[in-house]
Amino acid sequence: MVVGAQATEVDTVVIGSGPGGYVAAIRAAELGQKVTIIEKDKMGGVCLNIGCIPSKALINVGHHYNESKQEEEGQSPFGLSTKGVTLDWAAAQKWKQEKVVNVLTGGVSALMKRHKIDVIKGTAEFVDNQTINVEQTDGHQLLQFNNCIIATGSRPIEIPPFPFGGRILDSTGALGLTEIPKHLLIVGGGVIGSELGGAYRLLGSKITIVEGLDHILNGFDKEMSDIIFKRVKNAGSDIHTSAKAVSAVQTDKDVTLTFEAEGKEQTVTGDYLLIAIGRRPNTDNIGLNNTDIKLGEKGLIEVDDTFKTSVDHIYAIGDIVPGPMLAHKASYQGKIAAGAISGEANAVDMHLAMPAVAYTSTELATVGVTPDDVKGRTDVKISKFPFAANGRALSMDEAEGFIRMITETKEGAVIGAQIAGPGASDLISDFSLAIENGLTAKDLSMTIQPHPTLGEAITDTAELADGMPINI
Ligand code: NAI
């Protein structure tokens, strides 16, 4: 308990300025609340500064570099050739920071000003159900609030055998490397391991992934993740599945990872080791024990369908509540919570259509139910259309993969879709829209997609589901 200071009264306070917090703050301001947002680090949170956005920037650099290398090595499918490809890594990192990250985070700060949201720089901790203490570099202040939205996000899980530091990296360290590793070791073949590993593979690193489960990219089914598995293996990198990372020893030149796979202990040496074994919610360091907020499993905050916690005027959104740890989930929940505080009655049907994407080379995307979810059901149909039959994909030399759609046989309602292939991250939105709005396969098949586009493969999949295929 912090004593001896006078509390400033505020209306709605938002803790954290990531894609959950800043969106909630703006929506609350739009709905007439006087909002104060507290951020201990940079505006924009993990996603904008050290997560989703900078990783996509580096993946993009990787694709460009890889294409140029193919041209240099006479392997361009388009007959292009280039000589003397070099990569100025410092310039690429500078571009990522100045032209991508800083532009977006500057935009968030500008939006705060525009909505007259007070920004307090400091670390927030609950003193009780009504009061927050903010520790600042030059002291601290107490805020007494009417409403609060907690959006403190998550951080990488760190386990004793692999303390972060030196050549053992978390995702932030991997994004900020000042050199391209010759050999990057990765523990955890989930989204972060596969995306960042993929970026460095395209940039010329050999990668070795050690994954505990029997397939990488656990959020996607094996038919999808196998495309990435084969691609990585064929390019001369290694993936060990059903393997357990045991320990690591680093020197000033390299790091050696010991892991168990196929019943025996093995070692591999590389120049860096990325640990990407999941993230933990930031709920253990914000004074929740001084409040009546109930925590559930894995340190996640229990919320109702408006994201209200067990304390009436305190809401929680994003990585700190159950569900996938995704930026777009946090933003969506932020809008619902801000609305609920303002008296709007728009509770959420929890994640009816919550898409997820892996920005691997061959992107993977999913929304709604999966084949596993509908196993044993006789009232559903699964339809699959290959990109190999799509003109635009062929013209891009990216014809690997497929669109899979799951419909209910009675009316043809779309209830799930998976895409492995070019543009999957953008194409999946059509299916989100379809599921969210109760559209049927017929509705999708009668929606005109321009020609020639990757989107036509959606029409083709819908026609398959509707029993009237044209292109297959
Ligand atoms: P993850 O949960 O996706 O994958 C971690 C993997 O590490 C799992 O497959 C697990 O089996 C494996 N693992 C755990 N301990 C291990 C051990 N000792 N030895 C070997 N393997 C081990 O977690 P990740 O990749 O760290 O990502 C964290 C969160 O960030 C995810 O929830 C994800 O949704 C989110 N994220 C989303 C992105 C996107 O939407 N594109 C991009 C990056 C992250």
* Span 442-456, pLDDT tens digits: 999 999 999 999 999
Distance 88 CA to ligand 1 centre (A): 30
The ligand 1 atom at the shortest distance from the C-alpha of residue 217 is 9
Q: Which residues contact 186 (CB under 8 A, 6 or more apart)?
A: 193, 196, 197, 207, 208, 209, 210, 273, 274, 276
Instruction: Assess whether 337 and 396 both reside in one domain.
Output: no
Instruction: Please list every protein residue whose CB sits less than 6 Å from any atom of ligand 1.
Output: 187-193, 195, 210-213, 218, 244-245, 276-279, 324-326, 356-359
Instruction: Assess whether 146 and 291 both reside in one domain.
Output: yes
Q: What's the CATH code of the domain at 300?
A: 3.50.50.60
**Helix ranges restricted to H, 204-246:** 222-234
H or E, element range at 281: strand 279-281
Instruction: Assess whether 431 and 443 both reside in one domain.
Output: yes
Distance 440 CA to ligand 1 centre (A): 33
Distance 192 CA to ligand 1 centre (A): 6
Question: What are the pLDDT digits (tens) for 338-357?
Answer: 999 999 877 776 557 999 99
Phi, psi of 285, deg, nearest 5: -130, 25
Distances (CA, A) of 138 to 5, 10, 278: 14, 21, 34
Q: Which of 341, 369, 384 is the last residue of a domain?
A: 341
The pLDDT of residue 24 is above 70: yes
Q: Which of 288, 306, 341 is the last residue of a domain?
A: 341
Nearest CA to ligand 1 atom 12: 188
Q: What is the mean pLDDT of residues 266-279?
A: 98
- Looking at the chain, the whole-number percentage of residues with pLDDT higher than 90 is 97
Annotation says 115 is catalytic = no
pLDDT score for 286: 98
* Angle ∠(75,77,79) on CA atoms, nearest 5: 80
pLDDT score for 2: 53
Nearest CA to ligand 1 atom 2: 278
The ligand 1 atom at the shortest distance from the C-alpha of residue 191 is 25
pLDDT score for 1: 47
> What is the span of the domain harbouring residue 438?
356-465
Instruction: Assess whether 191 and 244 both reside in one domain.
Output: yes
Distance 213 CA to ligand 1 centre (A): 11
The pLDDT of residue 133 is above 90: yes
The pLDDT of residue 101 is above 80: yes
How many domains are contained in the chain? Answer: 3
Q: Token pair of 413, please?
A: 């309602």
- Looking at the chain, the whole-number percentage of residues with pLDDT higher than 70 is 98
Q: Token pair of 374, please?
A: 């509908």
Full-model pTM: 0.96
